[in-house]
Amino acid sequence: MKKIMLNRGEYADRVYGCWIGKNIGGTLGGPFEGRREILDVSGYTTPAGEPLPNDDLDLQLVWLKAVIERGVQNITAQLLGEYWIDYIPPPWGEYGVAKMNLRSGLLPPVSGTYANDILKNSNGAWIRSEIWACLFPGAPDAAIRLAYEDASVDHGVSEGMYAELFTAAVESAAFVIGGVRELIRVGLSKIPAESLVARAVRIAEESYDGGLSWQEARARVVNDSVPAIGWFQAPANVGFVIIGWLYGEGDFGKSLLIATNCGDDTDCTAATLGAILGIMRGAKRLPAEWTAPLGDRIATIAIDRGKAKAFWPTTLAALTEMTVRQAAPALVAFNVPVELHEGKTDLSALSGMDLCSASAAAEICARPPYAVRIDAVHSIVTLDYQRAPELKTGEPFTVRLYIRSVAMDYCRYEIIWHLPPGIRVAEGAETCISLLRHDIEKNLMNRGAGKVREPLTFTLIPESLEGGTIRGILEVRAAGRPNVGFIPLVFFHGAN
């Protein structure tokens, strides 16, 4: 397959532009975070030479550390959850809920779903999507794979997660596409059309096309979702980003000011739009009136600098260099048709690609919010709690188990439950299953040989419960294979 060829220097300049734009927007919007009215900001209101610290950028330093230390191909939500506990102290909003759940033993996406009905739709995920876009320039389907792993830690499967898929796709595509509407189309192709995030984006577009003022567009975006889910949520704030982008009409400063003046989560909206425009323009084409007052320093607020102090970059230039070094291996690891080289940028391969393909995104968005996946080497094992993991004495709790074999041989899998006293598995459940490699089985089904295999269903019977947290283990063994899959089971004692 023909590849998109990106000049390494031009790519690096766009990455630098991304991080500079992020710093600019966060500093511009930061002082007004949480204001719900239309604002009248006309420029920086903070001392010259000092960028404001912003968790939007901070968390991405932690994700980059995970990529460097573990390899991009090994990034999972479980791994990011471990890095979160190690390096991200703040208990703010959904961050705090996720850390509480992680420390209780819940794995993502359950960590971002349980006891998180309101905050899972908030802004904590989509504001940190740039790292995935910069690692996968021109490859939005690869970027959203890791955006999901990221967002599911503290947002589960929600509007907050859809928002990160949208921004990651837009930012990735912005390395190779220059049209605003085309980029928005790429982003919308990666999220459910009926989602509130998609609706907010379409309302912003329709308002602009209909000749409404940006203030009228903002009112329409607010009225669509705020009465239902409240302020400081992803749908309206992503809508504000699009309003700033469209009504700014290519002017960097005007775009960021409009996004900021929409109010609400102003540091996030301005920072994300600044990053998008920074990718599109590159650092060299960013206006000096916006770059000069801030300089190149990174100020942090949400990471523990005392741990691994020598790692954290202190300038945007250093962050750019670290990011760029990881991009080539990332593109190879994910087998995407994009390559960095020293020659001229050649985008002719784009004509044979569909960056708006929805197939990869549809699979991601269909993942259940209470389903935990682990890689058992010979298989991918998914346990779906199906609902909040709360047990009540005498009330059955049904879970589903999916085993996707990746072994070359026909394999027999044994399912073993390790449960505390007082809980048993209802009689009649399967304890063994024989499976073909999943892609071979799929090909056979496509030829009409067989049907889609239903998940295994197990009903847990809690006859007596002790303690507030109930733990167990689900073990999946493959006959003749040395590796064993273990899924930690965590339930809470619910009131009868």
Residue 451, pLDDT score: 56
Instruction: Based on the fold, state whether residues 409 and 347 are members of the same structural domain.
Output: no
Instruction: Based on the fold, state whether residues 311 and 446 are members of the same structural domain.
Output: no
Task: Please state, in angstroms and rounded to a whole number, the distance separating the CA atoms of residues 198 and 13.
Answer: 30
Write the single-letter amino acid at 56.
D
Residue 445, pLDDT score: 56
Instruction: Based on the fold, state whether residues 118 and 207 are members of the same structural domain.
Output: yes
* Domains held by the chain: number: 2
Residue 449, pLDDT score: 54
End-of-domain residue from the set 319, 344, 361: 361
Residue 409, pLDDT score: 85
pTM: 0.96
Instruction: Based on the fold, state whether residues 325 and 376 are members of the same structural domain.
Output: no
Residue 452, pLDDT score: 56
Q: Which domain holds residue 126?
A: 4-361
Checking DSSP bridges between strand 338-341 and strand 4-7, what pairing results, if any?
parallel
Residues of the chain with pLDDT under 50: none
Task: State the sign of the Cα–Cα–Cα–Cα dihedral 92, 97, 100, 106.
Answer: negative
Instruction: Based on the fold, state whether residues 78 and 174 are members of the same structural domain.
Output: yes
Query: Which is nearest to 91 in space by CA: 55, 38, 43, 133?
Result: 55
Instruction: Based on the fold, state whether residues 130 and 229 are members of the same structural domain.
Output: yes
Cβ 423 vs Cβ 394: under 8 Å: no
CATH of residue 243: 1.10.4080.10
Cβ 135 vs Cβ 322: under 8 Å: no
Residue 466, pLDDT score: 87
Contacts of 94 (CB under 8 A, 6+ apart): 112, 116, 119, 120, 122, 124, 154, 155, 160
Residue 441, pLDDT score: 62
CATH of residue 486: 2.60.40.10
Residue 408, pLDDT score: 86
Write the single-letter amino acid at 415.
I
CB environment 119-132: b (16+ within 10 A), e (fewer): bbbbbbbbbbbbbb
Residue 450, pLDDT score: 54
Per the structure block, which two tokens stand in for 39? Answer: 């604002």
Cβ 391 vs Cβ 492: under 8 Å: yes
Residue 434, pLDDT score: 84
Cβ 255 vs Cβ 248: under 8 Å: yes
Strand order in the sheet with 379-384: 371-375, 379-384, 397-405, 456-462, 423-425
Cβ 237 vs Cβ 197: under 8 Å: no
